[in-house]
Amino acid sequence: MATYNGEKYLAAQLDSLAAQTHTNWCLFVSDDGSIDGTKAILQSYQQKWGADRIQIRTGPMRGVAQNFLTMAIDTSVQADYYAFCDQDDVWLPSKLVAALEYLGGVSPEKPHLYCSRTAYVKDDLKIYAHSPSFVFPTSFRNALVQSIAGGNSMVFNRATKTLLERAAVLDVVLHDWWLYQLTTGAGGVVHLDQQAHILYRQHPMALIGGGGSVFCKLRRIWMIFHGEFKVYSDVSIKALNQSRHCLDDGSIRILDLFIRMRQAPKLWQRFRLLEVCGLYRQTWRGTISLLIAATFKKI
């Protein structure tokens, strides 16, 4: 769990962890310099649960992604499975069980990442929508241009954590998008559960919000034309280049084609290389936006 000034909703999240039907877990919390009552709440739960159940550390104070990844690449944090946990959600009791039912049935030698849909709620915790239901395959070709699952839904095996440790990259756009890119790029498997096992709060103080609203869709269009998506691609490419030793040959080829496509001076060259790359997003609107971005060199 990564925390920062999360006193308003933190206790509810911690209580939802205690209510999990899977009870064999330990919580590592990295606080990024909270100046509200967050640390006091954490310490009170540590006194109640014990230091073996909840461990509190000081974060790097360089944003939420680095806060999560600093813990994820720490070799002293050892377990069979790992889950990212936001400070302001509520986990349904089935959250961990659903993930472990999948992860327990796959090879522990190969990186596997479990993700699920999330239920969007406001302060009253009433569900008003769900995150999108994606049907196209998860792959590196998709991961290069789209983040499809929130970190709050992600649970992964030890092989995936070892992959994060080997890459040792901290400067990324988002920790969840990075995990999707790295897992698929290394030949791992990303599984999407179509059921929601988490109540995902949407509120003004949320550091990362849901992406299914009209506002978020319009914002993505704005991001393309104002070059923000291009900056994201720059950051992702730098991180992936630093992690080439972790990628399989097919993913390296796709990455190199993607880099060439972004640099191609002529429109027909960019479209041709985009086709050869086989990049895609999970909706036809998203794929059209990808073509628009390539047209104006905003990808």
| Residue count of the chain | 299
Structural domain includes residue 192? no
Structural domain includes residue 181? no
Structural domain includes residue 198? no
Give the integer Cα–Cα distance in Å for 296 and 294.
6
Question: What's the confidence (pLDDT) of residue 217?
Answer: 61
Question: What's the confidence (pLDDT) of residue 208?
Answer: 45
Structural domain includes residue 152? no
The range of the structural domain enclosing residue 257 comes to 214-295
Give the integer Cα–Cα distance in Å for 121 and 131.
11
Structural domain includes residue 287? yes
Q: Give the pTM.
A: 0.94
Average pLDDT over residues 252-256: 99
pLDDT digits (tens, 9 = 90+) for 50-99: 999 999 999 999 999 999 999 999 999 999 999 999 999 999 999 999 99
H helix or E strand, kind and range, residue 163: helix 158-167
pLDDT digits (tens, 9 = 90+) for 186-244: 999 999 999 999 999 986 544 444 455 555 666 666 667 678 899 999 999 999 999 99
Give the integer Cα–Cα distance in Å for 10 and 42.
8
**CA distances (Å), origin 83, targets 112, 120, 202, 203:** 12, 19, 20, 23
The DSSP result for 75-106, as a single string, is TT---SEEE---SS-EE-TTHHHHHHHHHTTS
Structural domain includes residue 254? yes
Q: Name the token pair of 147.
A: 């983040």
Question: What's the confidence (pLDDT) of residue 226?
Answer: 74
Contact yes or no for 86/193 (Cβ under 8 A): no
Contact yes or no for 13/95 (Cβ under 8 A): no
Structural domain includes residue 136? no
Average pLDDT over residues 271-296: 94
Instruction: Give the orientation angle of helix 284-295 with respect to helix 214-225, to 10 degrees.
Output: 20
Q: Using only C-alpha atoms, what is the Rg of the chain?
A: 19
Domain count, the chain: 1
- Tokens 């509520």 belong to which residue? 90
Give the integer Cα–Cα distance in Å for 255 and 277.
8
* Contacts within 8 Å (CB) and 24+ apart, 82-85: 82/155, 82/156, 82/157, 82/158, 82/160, 82/161, 83/154, 83/155, 83/156, 84/151, 84/152, 84/154, 84/175, 84/176, 85/1, 85/13, 85/17, 85/27, 85/152
Does the pLDDT at position 290 exceed 50?
Answer: yes
Structural domain includes residue 286? yes
